[in-house]
């Protein structure tokens, strides 16, 4: 602790250590970091004898932590941001601090009006309507296709023209009903508060996220699952078309539970994957734009056309919707990825085999997500086929 006489001897060691590395740290900063449980307190080194008091020294891990905190700290950086960044870098942040930071990322997902809802006696539908009304009054809308993706879609359409006939034959829905941005917002609220959605809604959302495509084979595949694979569909789908293996209830509660229970190494793997997905998505856009600049429909454009109607396209759009890439948003993406892995594991229990080979097909999943799922979820007896 510092005092009116200046920093303690132990704190001065940390301040001097930072200075030797070209970093400025103050005694006040050390106190702030300790109050946030980012930096351990100094440990007693025993008495000096003859009533002269006792000595203290920084724990060995404090020296590296102080350097990392000094490099990461800055204006606008909250303690939870620092905890997440240090954890991602492999520093020994206390486990309780790490888990609290992941939970805080979920807590940041708030819906306008939900706190002033009088009670939940009316059930989920009334709660959704209440929140949706607040969002509508405030003029909120869901960004289905971020501007960069929309520009790429339009440039590809001008370059290639109409989709081939064989692709159109794969879309079995003769009367599709893609969602409007308002519909998508309502669906997002419903999923957040209720935890599930119907297969038809999923198909509508996939179509709305790729409005430039005249046909949507993957959306059609989702919509016709019950007809195409009735035995498997009956195991995972209710009569109303909702997926039974998705847990009902506030999705944020599920993510908070995951933040509390997941092994730290699992959280770290999810964080790395979330970062890698972002890097993949931005590099993907650059590759496609380079081909379009050269007026060539090469490998990247082909991959874009394939991916836009598949789960990898959803990851691409999600990256482009979040230009800031804050620690909190990465933590939320981490938990969503790990939740996705859990659901694949549950699905494999319901439908043994789970068609893992489909996930390995090009364009189905971003490569980092595919690797995370196949290394953390895929049954051992399937690994030989990888």
Of 18-22, 111-115, 376-380, the least confident: 376-380
**pTM for the model:** 0.80
What are the C-alpha distances in Å from 234 to residues 35, 244, 264, 350, 366? 53, 10, 36, 10, 28
Task: Look up tokens 């893609």; give the residue.
Answer: 178
Q: Which of 228, 188, 222 is nearest to 204 (CA)?
A: 222
DSSP state of 174: S
| pLDDT surpasses 90 at 18 | yes
Per-residue confidence (pLDDT) for residue 23, from 0 to 100:
93
Residue 231 and residue 291 in one domain: yes
- Is 273 inside a domain boundary? yes
What are the C-alpha distances in Å from 6 to residues 26, 288, 378? 10, 58, 57
Give the containing element (helix H, strand E) for 339: helix 327-350
- Is 133 inside a domain boundary? no
As a whole number, mean pLDDT of residues 49-64 equals 73
> pLDDT class for 5, splitting at 50, 70, 90?
low
Per-residue confidence (pLDDT) for residue 378, from 0 to 100:
57
Half-sphere exposure of 204 toward its Cβ, with a 13 Å CA cutoff? 18
Residue 181 and residue 96 in one domain: no
Q: CB within 8 A of 176, min separation 6: which ones?
A: 203, 204, 207, 216, 219
- Is 127 inside a domain boundary? no
- Is 2 inside a domain boundary? no
How far is Cα 365 from Cα 263, in angstroms, rounded to an integer? 24
Residue 232 and residue 359 in one domain: yes
Q: Which of 324, 319, 381 is nearest to 354 (CA)?
A: 381
As a whole number, mean pLDDT of residues 256-272 equals 95
- Is 117 inside a domain boundary? no
How far is Cα 334 from Cα 323, in angstroms, rounded to an integer? 17
Residue 191 and residue 83 in one domain: no
For residue 89, the enclosing domain spans: 9-43+58-107
Residue 148 and residue 269 in one domain: yes
As a whole number, mean pLDDT of residues 326-347 equals 89
How far is Cα 14 from Cα 31, in angstroms, rounded to an integer? 12
| pLDDT surpasses 60 at 315 | yes
Q: CB within 8 A of 234, min separation 6: which ones?
A: 226
Give the containing element (helix H, strand E) for 77: none
For residues 374 and 244, the model is more confident at 374
For residues 117 and 286, the model is more confident at 286
Residue 157 and residue 232 in one domain: yes
How far is Cα 163 from Cα 216, in angstroms, rounded to an integer? 10
**How many residues are recorded in the chain?**
386
How far is Cα 166 from Cα 347, in angstroms, rounded to an integer? 31
What are the C-alpha distances in Å from 307 to residues 98, 141, 174, 336? 34, 25, 22, 20
- Is 369 inside a domain boundary? yes
Per-residue confidence (pLDDT) for residue 242, from 0 to 100:
57
Per-residue confidence (pLDDT) for residue 348, from 0 to 100:
73
| pLDDT surpasses 90 at 97 | yes
The domain total for the chain is: 2
- Is 355 inside a domain boundary? yes
As a whole number, mean pLDDT of residues 110-115 equals 68
Helices 264-293 and 95-107 sit at what angle, rounded to 10 degrees? Answer: 50
Residue 64 and residue 172 in one domain: no
Per-residue confidence (pLDDT) for residue 381, from 0 to 100:
45
Of 5-14, 80-89, 181-190, the least confident: 181-190
- Is 134 inside a domain boundary? no
Residue 100 and residue 148 in one domain: no
| pLDDT surpasses 80 at 141 | no
> pLDDT class for 47, splitting at 50, 70, 90?
very low
Per-residue confidence (pLDDT) for residue 333, from 0 to 100:
94
Share of the chain above pLDDT 90, in %: 38
| pLDDT surpasses 70 at 352 | no
For residues 283 and 191, the model is more confident at 283
Per-residue confidence (pLDDT) for residue 113, from 0 to 100:
63
How far is Cα 279 from Cα 366, in angstroms, rounded to an integer? 11
Helix (H, G, I), strand (E, B) or coil at 17: helix
Per-residue confidence (pLDDT) for residue 29, from 0 to 100:
92
Per-residue confidence (pLDDT) for residue 91, from 0 to 100:
92
For residues 268 and 362, the model is more confident at 268
Per-residue confidence (pLDDT) for residue 384, from 0 to 100:
38
């Amino acid at each position: 602790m510092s005092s009116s006489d200046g920093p303690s001897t132990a704190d001065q060691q940390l301040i001097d250590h930072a200075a030797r590395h070209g970093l400025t740290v103050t005694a006040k900063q050390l106190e702030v970091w300790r109050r946030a449980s980012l930096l351990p307190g100094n440990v007693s080194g025993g008495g000096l004898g003859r009533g002269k008091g006792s000595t203290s020294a920084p724990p060995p891990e404090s020296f590296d932590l102080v350097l990392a905190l000094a490099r990461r700290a800055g204006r606008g950086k909250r303690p939870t941001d620092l905890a997440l960044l240090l954890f991602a870098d492999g520093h020994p942040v206390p486990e309780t601090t790490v888990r609290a930071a992941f939970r805080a990322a979920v807590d940041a997902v708030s819906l306008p009006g939900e706190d002033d809802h009088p009670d939940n006696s009316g059930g989920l539908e009334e709660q959704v309507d209440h929140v949706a009304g607040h969002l509508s009054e405030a003029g909120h809308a869901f960004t289905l296709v971020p501007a960069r993706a929309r520009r790429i879609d339009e440039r590809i359409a001008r370059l290639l023209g109409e989709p081939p006939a064989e692709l159109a034959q794969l879309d079995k829905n003769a009367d599709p009903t893609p969602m409007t941005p308002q519909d998508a917002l309502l669906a997002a609220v419903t999923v957040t508060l209720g935890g599930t959605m119907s297969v038809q809604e999923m198909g509508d959302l996939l179509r709305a996220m790729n409005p430039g495509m005249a046909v949507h084979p993957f959306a059609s595949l989702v919509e016709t699952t019950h007809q195409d694979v009735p035995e498997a569909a009956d195991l995972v789908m209710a009569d109303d078309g909702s997926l039974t293996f998705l847990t009902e209830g506030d999705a944020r509660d599920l993510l908070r539970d995951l933040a509390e229970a997941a092994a730290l190494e699992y959280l770290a793997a999810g964080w790395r994957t979330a970062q890698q997905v972002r890097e993949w998505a931005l590099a993907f856009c650059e590759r496609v734009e380079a081909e379009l600049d050269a007026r060539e429909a090469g490998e990247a454009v082909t991959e874009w056309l394939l991916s836009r109607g598949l789960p990898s396209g959803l990851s691409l759009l999600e990256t482009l919707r979040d230009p800031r890439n804050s620690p909190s948003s990465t933590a939320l993406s981490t938990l969503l990825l790990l939740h996705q892995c859990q659901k694949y594991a549950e699905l494999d229990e319901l439908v043994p085999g789970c068609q893992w080979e489909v996930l390995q097909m090009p364009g189905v999943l971003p490569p980092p997500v595919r690797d995370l799922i196949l290394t953390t979820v895929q049954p051992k007896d399937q690994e030989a086929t990888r």
